[in-house]
Structure 1
Amino acid sequence: MISLMRRGLPALVLAALPLLASPASAGTPTTPVPTNELPFTSYAPPQAPAGAPGSRVVLALFDAIDRLPVAEEHREGYQRTLYKHWNPGLNAADGCNTRKEVILAEAVEDPLVEAGCKLSGGSWRSAYDSLVVTDAAKLDVDHFVPLAEVFDSERTPWSAERREAYANDQGSADTLIAVSAASNRSKSDKDPADWMPADGTYHCAYAATWVATKLRWDLAVDDAERQALLGTAEDCTGTTVTYQHVP
């Protein structure tokens, strides 16, 4: 995960798949859409490949938004338990699960870590509302794109393993973020069409992180979400999105 120093904004570390393949050469049969493909209402304009899976891609915010396919959401069947979290983290031996590892990584002042990953002291800055938090128990570790929104946006139904990988993703600086519990509860499972951070100076970074996380995990946006992101981008000249696709 990241510290707030690494969450230097607006350049954000994210990852994503070039969502549409290059145009097929003349006479080459096209690959049929899988039978379990979820219904799409439209697609983003075709884009040239932005790099192989795992490669680092940097785009202007508007260009990154254009790489997101547009589709209706599909909430039916969602359960939070479909996304197993928190797992033992990157170092199971230290007793800190993914949640605690994110909190430790994002500390402005490091807390004392006692047996069983019990934290005391330390300080954090909650990016959503610019609050300084000095008690780790008052932090939530938020999935930047909420789990329910991920379910809504899966282009094809994910496996249990992929869902767990998203729910515990520490390979990106942006998938998980430690914020004040109050701001996380305010956000809930809303997308940018329905919620933006109270700290207006964070809006460009928030939009860029949202887009990059969706690109990293090959997730769609609905039309209202896309329009909200485009509206925010109007005030974000120079904001870039950096991402790496998860295969």
Structure 2
Amino acid sequence: MTTLLSAIQEIVRDEMRGVRLAELGVVETTYAHAAASDNDNYTCDVRLKGSDVLLTRVPIATGHIGTAAVPNKGDLVLLAFDQGDVNQPIVIGRLYTDTERPPVNRNDEIIFRLPLQKDDTRTVMAAIRNISGREIIIELPSKITVQIIDDAVKVTAGQTSIALEQPGGADGVATIQSGRSTISVKQNSDITVNAGGNITISTGTGDVTIEGKNVTIKSMMDTTIDAGMQATVKGGITATLQGSAQAAVKGAMVSVNGITSFSPA
């Protein structure tokens, strides 16, 4: 009986040695579904760590159907085996190593950084976090950033930015800033334009209309109004032409209509 029991135990141990539960492996080749015409179906070749065993066309598990993130060559992956069969492997996860360290991260934060080991000028970085406030941010090379926080959205490209703010349900504000030039639009309120240089309003074929309760045109030095054909200045009740030092009216022919009064200043 003892001999029979020992034989059974040895058979069980031998069978158990052939059962694979989970092992580490290193990716050697990937077969992403890169084109509609290919037959690849999201698999990779994996060599078991510390072994010469190469598993080919290993399916890669995904957290959600409709998403894809194929591992890179050299990535350390965790494999599980369907019913313990080494011929039925599945990549179920990936692991960081001492040489492939994770991007800087904190609690309550999800980070994406691709490619992982490139410097900041050659990567795409995205983060979803809720640390000091809710925030989604995407950073691209060339100093391009998209940031979404509570009550605001901001897009930045170098020294140019567009900000949309809706603080606490109050009236919103849209601000465009490029260096020293800004345009600010307040919901149901003021629009302010400040230029670091010149401001040009031009239309090649259409009309330009400036209309308001009161319209003021003021310059620190010279003001010039030049019409290619006809210029008309009209006041519904009164019209005043005044120069603190000198005022001149000049034309090939000058007509003055109505009751005229001339007096010294």
TM-score computed with the length of structure 1 as normaliser: 0.18
Higher helix content, 1 or 2: 1
> Which of 1 and 2 has greater Rg?
2
Larger relative CO (CA 8 A, sep 6+): 1 or 2? 1
What is the TM-score with the length of structure 2 in the denominator? 0.17
